[in-house]
Amino acid sequence: MEVLADLTSFLDKHTETGRRFGLAQLLEEFRKALVDELDYRREADNLTRMRELVVGHDLIVVPEAFADLTTSKVLAMEFVEGKKVTDLGPLAGSTWMALRWPTNSSPRTSTGCSSKASSTPTPTPATCW
């Protein structure tokens, strides 16, 4: 990051593009966002929120984060054996959604999200959530 900061400062001082876009300031904003995104305490908070959101959905398991052991650089969470959703493939995911998504999950549900025919050929989280 230090090298990039030096480079963007140089470009800001010596090029029209640098002056126009303020590359050093853009880099600083990117650095702050990256540091914030890589803070595992925030990730632990996200895990906790996600666990609360999926309560009652027996097929979805979100590991518990251990806040007392988590730092900005270490995320401590329980080990959960199983398959990742991303390993199931697109057809497995849509089949699961069609058969298992709750029919009354949200006022925005327009298809009913059941295995019966609906106006949407394949229910997805976007159409059922």
Task: State if pTM tops 0.85.
Answer: no
Q: What would the pLDDT profile of 17-29 be if each residue is shown by its tens digit?
A: 999 999 999 999 9
**In angstroms, rounded to a whole number, what is the distance separating the alpha carbons of residues 128 and 93?**
13
Give the pLDDT mean for 54-82. Answer: 92
Sorting pLDDT into bands at 50, 70 and 90, what band is 59? confident
DSSP codes joined into one string, 46-105: HHHHHHHHTTT-TT---PPB-TTT--SS---B----S--GGGS-HHHHHHHHHHHS-TTS
Bridge partner residues of 77 (DSSP):
65
Mean pLDDT of 36-62: 91
pLDDT at 49 exceeding the cut of 70: yes
Q: Residue 105: which of 123, 82, 84 has the closest Cα?
A: 123
